[in-house]
Structure 1
Amino acid sequence: MNFRKNLKKDDFSALEWEQRVNLAACYRLVSQYGWDDLIFTHISARVPGPEHHFLINPYGMLFEEITASSLVKVDLEGKKVEQNEYDINPAGFTIHSAIHAGREDAQCVLHVHSVNGVAVSAQQKGVLPLSQQSIFVLSSLGYHDYEGVALRDEEKPRLVADLADNNFLMLRNHGLLTVADSIPDAFLFMYLFEATCMIQVRAQAGGGPLIPIDERIIATAQAQAAAVTKQAGGNLAWPALLRKLDRNNPGYDQ
C-alpha cells in the first residue's frame, strides 16, 4: 500500500525517524509472531522532543504493511498533527493517551489481543508462577478489570492507577499490555508476557498437578533479568530481530 508519497525520511528529524523505523518494525514483528488481531490492536511510541506527540498505527492497515512514514502522529487529545489520510483507532487512543500522559517513562506502549493472553486474562487467578518466563512478568504486573471497549475518558484514571509503576498490565477479559522506556524493551516484555500465557494454558491443558515457583525466586527476577541481558534489556536482541525482518518482511524502514 502506498500513500503520502510527499513525505519521506528527510521530512523528519533523525531522532523521530529512528523512532518511526523501530515502531514500524515492532508492528511487523508483532504480526510475524502472530499476536496481531487484524487491524484492531495498537502500539504507540513518543516522538522525541518537547511536544507531547506520539506515533500510532494508521487504522485500516495490517501490521505487516506498516512503514515508518505511514505512522500517524497525534497529540494527547488525539488530533493529527500532520497530514495523513488514515484515522486512528479510538479505543487505542483512549488506552495509549492515558498511559503516555500518566507515565513520563512510557516511551512505548504495546497492546495485543493474543489468544493465549486473552485466555489467561479470563482466568480468575491471572498469571500463575509456573515458568521461568512468568517470574519476570509477576515481578512487575498489574491488573485492570474489563469495562467494555475502551472508549470513555472516565476509564483513564483507573487504567493508569491499575498499571501503577509496572511494566506489565493484564486487561481482564481483553488482552495484554506492556510499557517501557524503549520500543525494544516493550517488545521483549510482550514476548515474555505472551510466552508466559502460552505455557500456562498448555500446562493447565495437561490435566496434572502444577508446580508453582517459590515467591522468593520471583522477588529476585528483575536482578536476574538484568544479568541475563547484560543490562541491555531488549536492545540486546533488537538488532537480530531487525535482521530477521530484513529477510522476511523488508520495507518497514520506508
Structure 2
Amino acid sequence: MNAVLKPASTHVPAPAHMHPDEWQARLQLASCYRVFAMLGWTEMIYNHITLRLPDSVTGGDKQFLINPFGLHYSEVTASNLVKINMQGDVLDGSSHKVNPAGFVVHATLHGGIEGAHCVMHTHTTAGVAVACLKDGLSQSNFYSAQLHGMVAYHDFEGITIHAEEGPRVLQSIGNKPAVILRNHGLLSWGTTLPQTFAILWTLQRACEIQLATQSMGAPIPVPEAIAAKCTRDALQFNPNHGAGQDVFDALVRQVDRIDSGWRA
C-alpha cells in the first residue's frame, strides 16, 4: 500500500518555548503564504492571510497570526509571523509592524463571525477586475456555478483602516464565505485554512474564466437550478471530503520542492 503523502509541516517539532498547537498553526500559515507566492497571488508587500489560534493556546481569548508588514510573501516563515489580539497589540515581542489595512478587516471577521478561523484577501488582476464590474461575478462558468448562494458583496469605502466600517462589512457578508469587495478585490473565510483556500481558489478561477470569456463576448448563463446543484455536488468545501486539505497538501509539497525555508 502506498504511503499517504503529507506536508513536511507535520514533522517539524515546536520550539521549546512555544505551545505545539501554536507552532503547527504557524507552520500551516507560513506554508500558505508560500503557496500564494508560488501561485502569483501577491501584491508587493501588501494583502494578508490570517489564522486564529486555537483556545488551547489562547485560553479562550481571540488571537490570530498575521504576516510581518514589509516582507514579501516569499519571505514569510513560521517564526516571523506576528501574533496579535483583536486590538492589534503584538503579543509575541515581534519587532515587525502590522499593516492597519490588514488588521482592521481581518480582526472584524475573526471577532464577528464565529466560524472565521482563517481569512484570506487578494488583489489579483482577475479578482479586482470582476470586483470593478457593476454586476460582479457572472454565474456562467464551471467555477462560479460551484459558488451559488455563497458570494457576498461589500461596497467600496476606501482603504480599510477605519474601524467604523467593520459592522457594515459584517452586515454585507452575513454567513457567505466568498466575498467580493467592490472596486477592491477578493476575500474568503472558513473554519480551516484549507477550506478557506479552496473557497478563494474557486472564486479566483471563476473570475479568471469570466475575464477571459467577456474578452470574447457575452457568456452563456448557468441556470439557477443547475448552479445550485453544482454547489451541492462540489466536494472541495465539504468537511466530510477533506474540505480542501488534499489540494492544499499537494501545493505545500510543490512549495517544498522550491524552498522549504518557510519552516524556519
The TM-score range, normalised by the shorter chain, is: over 0.9
Match of 2:18? 12
1:197 matched to 2:203 = no
> In terms of mean alpha carbon deviation, does 228-237 or 32-41 score higher?
228-237
Alpha-carbon distance change, 140 to 213 in structure 1, aligned in 2, over 3 angstroms = same
* AA in 2 matched with 1:220: K
Note the 1:90-129 alignment, pairs <5 A: 90-129=100-139
Match of 1:30? 36
> Using the alignment, how far apart are the partners of 1:125 and 1:227 within structure 2?
26
> Using the alignment, how far apart are the partners of 1:81 and 1:14 within structure 2?
17
Paired-residue identity, %: 35
Match of 2:248? 238
Match for 2:159 among 149, 159, 173? 149
Alpha-carbon distance change, 163 to 227 in structure 1, aligned in 2, over 3 angstroms = closer
| Contact preservation (8 Å) 1:127, 1:134 | yes
Match of 1:212? 221
Note the 1:154-193 alignment, pairs <5 A: 154-193=164-203
CA displacement at 1:158 relative to structure 2:
0.5
| Contact preservation (8 Å) 1:91, 1:149 | yes
CA displacement at 1:228 relative to structure 2:
9.0
| Contact preservation (8 Å) 2:237, 2:244 | no
Alpha-carbon distance change, 206 to 21 in structure 1, aligned in 2, over 3 angstroms = same
| Contact preservation (8 Å) 2:156, 2:184 | yes
Match for 1:73 among 83, 86, 104? 83
| Contact preservation (8 Å) 2:104, 2:160 | yes
Q: Structure 1 regions of 5+ residues with no counterpart?
A: 1-7
* AA in 1 matched with 2:224: E
CA displacement at 1:220 relative to structure 2:
2.5
Match for 2:234 among 213, 216, 225? 225
| Contact preservation (8 Å) 1:139, 1:218 | no
> Using the alignment, how far apart are the partners of 1:163 and 1:96 within structure 2?
13
* Aligned residues between the structures: 246
* AA in 2 matched with 1:159: V
| Contact preservation (8 Å) 1:108, 1:182 | yes
| Contact preservation (8 Å) 2:199, 2:237 | no
1:52 matched to 2:62 = yes
CA displacement at 1:137 relative to structure 2:
2.5
Alpha-carbon distance change, 125 to 228 in structure 1, aligned in 2, over 3 angstroms = closer
> Using the alignment, how far apart are the partners of 1:143 and 1:12 within structure 2?
39
CA displacement at 1:227 relative to structure 2:
7.7
> Using the alignment, how far apart are the partners of 1:198 and 1:143 within structure 2?
18
> In terms of mean alpha carbon deviation, does 168-177 or 226-235 score higher?
226-235
Match of 1:85? 95
| Contact preservation (8 Å) 1:9, 1:69 | no
RMSD (Å), alpha carbons:
1.5
Alpha-carbon distance change, 171 to 56 in structure 1, aligned in 2, over 3 angstroms = same
CA displacement at 1:222 relative to structure 2:
3.4
SS of residue paired to 2:103:
helix
Alpha-carbon distance change, 213 to 64 in structure 1, aligned in 2, over 3 angstroms = same
> Using the alignment, how far apart are the partners of 2:124 and 2:148 within structure 1?
18
